Structure 1
Amino acid sequence: MTDLQSWVAPTYQGLADLLTAGPARTWEAPSLCAGWSVRHVVAHVTMPARLTPATFGAELAAAGGDFGVLSDTVALRDAALPVTELLDQLRSPVLHAWQPPGGAAGALSHAVIHGLDVTVALGRPAVAPAEAVTAVLDQLVDAEGRWFGVDLTGVRLEAADTGRAWGDGRPVRADSGSLVALLAGRTLPDGRALPRR
């Protein structure tokens, strides 16, 4: 069995490389996360590189125990950090080794989904290894839309890049990365989205 954590570092490194090579305006471009720019997404995913467990606990307490409030607060605040600092944090071994309560599977899905929030929005290929995208897609399909409140009733998902398919009904055809984004409750740049429960 593949060590899912081993795909986390290349995903974040790939995102850092993409942002380093791109124009400065890329940081201000909208992501697939509603209301967040690329800069906000990077500030969000790099939280583990900045916040100690004690600091995180204090931030969560200040947010009334609501992780959504904490995420928005930290993303909006820390998006103001210098680009060089955010890039260093994307390359941080601390971030690459971090695991949420969901363990390595949670760490990988976090890295892949938020990487796709940037790359799909920018019309760029995924920065995660193809195997990592496939692993996260399998996790989301197995969860049957529950993680992000997506309703897969009467939907057939078709991965255009691998030929794999799941479910029965109205076909939704896209590359694996875009399917991951759809299953994570995102709206694609072309306006496609899966219905919500």
Structure 2
Amino acid sequence: MTEHDVRTWVAQTCEGLADLLSDDTWDAPSLCAGWQVRHVVAHVTMPARLTPAQFGAEMAAARGDFGVLSDTVAARDAALPPAELLAALRSPQLHDWQPPGGGAAGALNHAVVHSLDVTVALGAPPTAPAPALTAVLDQLADGTVFGLDLTGVQLEATDGNWGSGEGDVVRADSGELVALLAGRTLPDGRALPRVSAR
């Protein structure tokens, strides 16, 4: 996976998501608890809409808590005109962005997981290309990123040859597996166990 690959995959994922959205999808629920599709798009496009100075001000207002910042910006910017949010999804600035400390892998994870928050909830095919889905599955397969307990769990993609782990088999398509590994609950209620607090 090269940085060129990542930029291409991120662009395809975001452009595909922009192509998918229509007037009747913006208010649909997403896989992110309490967020509609418009909130997810407002969140994922922050790097294209906020300057570093604006982001710093938002972080200061949130007292350094990125979760608070995300909720605040999503709640506010979800009210932006859809055309503005779509333009941000198509922005080369978003396609080139890499999170501080996360690099290319973090950028790919961000775009793919949040696109699936929309497409899986809508029952639509992933907008991320298959190699991007596989790359993110490989990133998330140890369960540490989202605090999952994958002990005794075997994951198998029904649309390819990807698999990981040993134990009770969880089968789903690649997009659904990414969503599960990102700690999401699927529309049919399937979820992976969290690590127990000690």
The alignment's TM-score, normalised by the length of structure 2, stands at 0.95
The secondary structure found in structure 1 opposite 2:113 is helix
Contact 1:5 1:105 in 2 (8 A): no
Cα deviation digits, residues 98-125 of structure 1 (max 9, x gap): 1102111100110000000000000000
Report the RMSD for the aligned CA atoms in angstroms. 0.9
Contact 2:134 2:162 in 1 (8 A): no
The residue aligned with 1:55 is: 54
What is residue 12 of structure 2 aligned with on the other side?
10
Q: How does 1:95-106 map to 2 (within 5 A)?
A: 95-101=94-100, 102-106=102-106
Alignment identity in percent? 76
Task: Give 2:180's match in structure 1, choosing from 179, 182, 186.
Answer: 182
**Runs of 4+ deviating beyond 4 Å:** none
Name stretches of at least 5 consecutive residues in structure 2 with no aligned partner.
none
Matched with 2:134 is: 134
Quote the residue 1:115 is aligned against.
Answer: 115
Deviation at 1:4, TM superposition (A): 1.9
Alignment partner, residue 40 of structure 2: 41
Q: Offset of 1:7 from its aligned partner?
A: 1.0
Tell me, in whole angstroms, the C-alpha distance in 1 between the residues paired with 2:167 and 2:47: 40
Partner of residue 84, structure 2: 85
Give how far 1:42 is off. Answer: 0.2
Question: What is the number of equivalent residue pairs in this alignment?
Answer: 192
User: 1:166, CA displacement in angstroms?
Assistant: 1.1
Partner of 1:160: 158
Equivalent residue number for residue 72 of structure 2: 73
**Structure 1: gaps of 5 or more residues:** none
